[in-house]
Amino acid sequence: MTAHQIIFYCLAALILITGLLSVTCPKVFRSAIFLLFSLIGIAGLYFWMEAEFIAAVQISVYVGGIVVIIIFSIFLTEQAGKETRSIHPVRTVFAVLAALLGMILTYLTVLNYDFVESNEAFDLNIPRIGNAMVATGEGGFSLPFEVVSILLLAAMIGCIVVAMRSSITKPDEKKLTQSITEIDEA
């Protein structure tokens, strides 16, 4: 076994163990921290593959962004410090079933796809990545980019509506409906 392989197995073990811990840990905040390590492991895997750009994106978006937001939402829940209640066994069975089904689905998809082994290094020219982001032709990411931005816009509008409703309901019901329609128009 070469050092390269040893590093791969270490990273894979880190991802799997911390991932498992994050779903089994009774304390919700600890789960978030284990999720953090799992995501860092995935970033490490990208670094191992020498895909530095995607690894940095992984860290910046998932670890630096998503986990921080998850931690913030945990802060806002009431019983963050207490252990979560034990789940009804029937629900556990169904959860395991759902996880298994998802795994089988992924595995079948992976089997059906014909992966071609390649020894070529990634072309990690930054201007090329930048051009691919805005290109509309083949290999361009312009459309997915825009679709994601529409999703984000919808999420943002939803956030604003949720945030406004709580503060305006009491004083004036009329104003509330007016402001919501205003947001909808915007």
Partner 1 sequence: MWSLENITKSVDSWLNLQFSPTIAFLIEAVIIMVLVIGLFAFLGLVLVFMERKVSSFMQIRLGPNRVGPMGIFQTAADTLKLIVKEGFTPNNVDKFLFNLAPFIVMVVAMVVLAPFAFSKGFQIWDVNVGIFFITAVSSLGVIGILTAGWSSNNKYSLLGAMRSGAQIVSYELSAGLTILVIVMLTGSLRISDIINAQADGWWIFKGHIPAIIAFVIYIIAATAETNRAPFDMAEAESELTAGFHTEYSGMKFALFFLAEYANVFIVCAIGATLFLGGWMPLHFGENNWFNSIMDYIPGIVWFFGKTFFLIFVIMWFRWTFPRLRIDQLLNLEWKYLLPISLFNLLLATVIAIAGWHF
Of 53 and 94, the one with the shorter C-beta distance to partner 1 is 53
* Shortest CB 8 distance to partner 1, Å: 15
Contact criterion met (CB below 8 Å) for 51 and 60:
no
Contact criterion met (CB below 8 Å) for 124 and 52:
yes
Of 127 and 139, the one with the shorter C-beta distance to partner 1 is 127
- Provide the CB-side half-sphere exposure for 157 (13 A, CA): 13
Of 12 and 80, the one with the shorter C-beta distance to partner 1 is 80
Residues of this chain that bind partner 1 (CB under 8 A): 3, 27, 29-30, 33, 36, 52-53, 56-57, 59-60, 63-65, 67-68, 71-72, 74-75, 80-81, 124, 126-127
Task: In whole angstroms, give the CA distance from residue 70 to residue 82.
Answer: 17
CB environment 83-119: b (16+ within 10 A), e (fewer): eeeeeeeeeeeeeeeeeeeeeeeeeeeeeeeeeeeee
Of 70 and 176, the one with the shorter C-beta distance to partner 1 is 70
